């Protein structure tokens, strides 16, 4: 959950830093299903504003894909587009709820709109719905929340979480619930504790600034590396990915639709999607990514990414993970990238140690929260 930083030292002691500042009036609207085109643009504008200020995107790639897929589904739902959503208003809380076209999309979105003439989106909480299960093996409902930098320190994050906590993220649903906080925001821990949530997972972001110093990849003689071929390798890669990440809460559950959604992105480059084969059998892969230069998002130069590296269980222990990592870094360096980043779970100590030996250093961190168990 991305929320406001704590109040400045001059704040009166008797004032709760999460209390709503009455000089900012907002309306909370919770919508199930796809956002409208106007809502989607407002979400993008909000995200750009936060990323420029924080240096971190407030929404994960999977959340952005879910939003884009929902927009596409809603656009095809011509019958529903002719009918405006019917909002049910709760006059005591100032919160409204509605359903839009594309309502089958697995989304619940809380919008915090300002009441002034501009009606700006001051904050939003996007919940990507899981499978509705109750066990730890189920796919959870996942929240990502952001407040516009110029509207922080006004309790908007608290209002959004409170509305969601009484609605789609209510404990009474019995569903598995999670939340991501992207970057180290000072207010996240107290806000999560206020609603009885606690950190359960740490995803580190590491950065390599000297790719030229990385050694060359060394492969077993019988193993070769080639680039991914769209249409030919889709199903084989999907099976290898599921096997390599069988215990991973997100990566191991990617579908063919998820793969194709990523392949449709502007950044997709099959030449940087490396496959390791032995006698025609796919053993592992390194999918690289390039973030183009974008000063508005704080990137003065293009940035390479070790997007995902995986090795099927039968081929593990042969050094393929390291070799594929090096091959991908070499590919990015040949493209002229002078900085490379990656994400890794903090408890994956073997991977963390490998990356640090290669010269990666800690850059930032994402924290996942979950409701704390009752004692």
CA distance 307 to 231: 20
pLDDT of residue 69: 85
> Which 3 state secondary structure label does DSSP give 161?
helix
Identify the band that residue 120 occupies on the pLDDT scale cut at 50, 70 and 90.
Answer: very high
Whether 131 has a pLDDT exceeding 80, the answer reads: yes
The reply to whether 256 sits in an annotated binding site is: no
pLDDT of residue 21: 47
The reply to whether 51 sits in an annotated binding site is: no
pLDDT of residue 129: 94
The reply to whether 310 sits in an annotated binding site is: yes
The reply to whether 178 sits in an annotated binding site is: no
pLDDT of residue 68: 86
Tell me: the pLDDT tens digits for 330-345? 999 999 999 999 999 9
pLDDT of residue 75: 64
Q: Write down the residue that tokens 């907002």 correspond to.
A: 26
pLDDT of residue 2: 42
Whether 6 has a pLDDT exceeding 50, the answer reads: no
pLDDT of residue 19: 44
**Mean pLDDT of the region 250-272:** 92
Q: Which fold has domain 206-364?
A: Aminopeptidase (3.40.630)
Tell me: the pLDDT tens digits for 189-233? 999 999 999 999 999 999 999 999 999 999 999 999 999 999 999
Identify the band that residue 71 occupies on the pLDDT scale cut at 50, 70 and 90.
Answer: confident
pLDDT of residue 3: 42
Whether 79 has a pLDDT exceeding 50, the answer reads: no
**Mean pLDDT of the region 147-159:** 94
Q: Write down the residue that tokens 């929404």 correspond to.
A: 59
**Mean pLDDT of the region 148-163:** 95
**297 exposed, middle or buried (CB, 10 Å; 0-12, 13-18, 19+)?**
middle
Ranking 110-124, 129-143, 173-187 by mean pLDDT, the lowest is: 129-143
CA distance 17 to 5: 9
Q: Which residues contact 245 (CB under 8 A, 6 or more apart)?
A: 251, 252, 310
CA distance 84 to 145: 26
The reply to whether 318 sits in an annotated binding site is: yes
Consecutive H or E run containing 38: helix 37-54
For the question of whether the overall pTM of this predicted structure is more than 0.85, the answer is: no
Domain with CATH 3.40.630.30 in the chain: 26-195, 206-364
Whether 167 has a pLDDT exceeding 90, the answer reads: yes
Which range among 95-109, 157-171, 285-299 has the greatest average pLDDT? 157-171
CA distance 196 to 301: 41
Identify the band that residue 300 occupies on the pLDDT scale cut at 50, 70 and 90.
Answer: confident
Identify the band that residue 55 occupies on the pLDDT scale cut at 50, 70 and 90.
Answer: confident
The reply to whether 123 sits in an annotated binding site is: no
The reply to whether 316 sits in an annotated binding site is: yes
Q: What value does the mean pLDDT of the chain take?
A: 86
Whether 294 has a pLDDT exceeding 50, the answer reads: yes
The reply to whether 252 sits in an annotated binding site is: no
Share of the chain above pLDDT 90, in %: 67
The reply to whether 338 sits in an annotated binding site is: no
Whether 91 has a pLDDT exceeding 70, the answer reads: no
> Which 3 state secondary structure label does DSSP give 194?
helix
The DSSP annotation for 83-147 comes to S----EEETTTTEEEEE-SSTTSSEEEEEEEE-STT--EEEEEEEE------STTSPPEEEEEEE
pLDDT of residue 92: 38
The reply to whether 317 sits in an annotated binding site is: yes
pLDDT of residue 140: 92
The reply to whether 307 sits in an annotated binding site is: no
Tell me: the pLDDT tens digits for 12-25? 333 444 444 446 89
> What architecture does CATH give domain 26-195?
3-Layer(aba) Sandwich (3.40)
The reply to whether 221 sits in an annotated binding site is: no
Identify the band that residue 244 occupies on the pLDDT scale cut at 50, 70 and 90.
Answer: very high
Q: Write down the residue that tokens 């299903």 correspond to.
A: 33
Q: Write down the residue that tokens 């999607």 correspond to.
A: 273
The reply to whether 33 sits in an annotated binding site is: no
The reply to whether 196 sits in an annotated binding site is: no
């Amino acid at each position: 959950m991305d929320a406001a930083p704590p109040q400045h030292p001059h704040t009166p002691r008797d004032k709760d830093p999460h209390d709503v500042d009455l000089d900012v009036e907002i309306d909370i609207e919770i919508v199930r299903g796809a956002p409208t085109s106007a809502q989607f643009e407002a979400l993008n504008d909000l995200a750009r504003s936060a990323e420029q200020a924080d240096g971190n995107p407030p929404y994960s790639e999977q959340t952005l894909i879910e939003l884009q897929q929902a927009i596409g589904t809603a656009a095809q739902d011509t019958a529903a587009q002719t009918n405006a959503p019917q909002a049910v208003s709760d006059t005591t809380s100032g919160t409204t709820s509605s359903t839009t076209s594309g309502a089958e999309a697995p989304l619940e979105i809380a919008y915090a709109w300002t009441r002034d003439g501009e009606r700006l989106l001051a904050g939003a909480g996007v919940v990507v719905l899981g499978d509705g299960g109750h066990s730890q093996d189920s796919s959870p409902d996942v929240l990502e929340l952001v407040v516009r930098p110029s509207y922080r320190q006004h309790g908007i994050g608290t209002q959004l979480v409170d509305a969601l906590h009484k609605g789609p993220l209510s404990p009474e649903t019995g569903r598995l619930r999670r939340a991501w906080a992207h970057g180290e925001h000072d207010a996240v821990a107290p806000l999560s504790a206020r609603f009885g949530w606690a950190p359960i997972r740490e995803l580190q972001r590491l950065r390599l600034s000297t790719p030229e110093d990385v050694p060359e990849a060394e492969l077993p003689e019988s193993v070769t590396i080639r680039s991914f071929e769209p249409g030919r390798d889709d199903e084989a890669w999907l099976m290898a990915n599921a096997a390599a990440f069988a215990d991973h809460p997100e990566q191991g559950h990617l579908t063919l639709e998820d793969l194709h959604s990523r392949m449709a992105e502007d950044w997709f480059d099959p030449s940087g999607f490396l496959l390791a084969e032995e006698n025609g059998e796919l053993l592992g892969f390194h999918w690289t990514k390039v973030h183009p230069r974008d000063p508005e998002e704080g990137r003065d130069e293009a940035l390479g990414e070790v997007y995902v590296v995986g090795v099927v269980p039968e081929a593990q222990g042969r050094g393929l993970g390291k070799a594929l990592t090096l091959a991908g870094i070499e590919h990015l360096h040949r493209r002229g990238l002078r900085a490379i980043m990656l994400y890794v779970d903090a408890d994956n100590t073997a991977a963390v140690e490998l990356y640090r030996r290669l010269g990666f250093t800690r850059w930032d961190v994402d924290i996942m929260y979950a409701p704390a168990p009752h004692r």
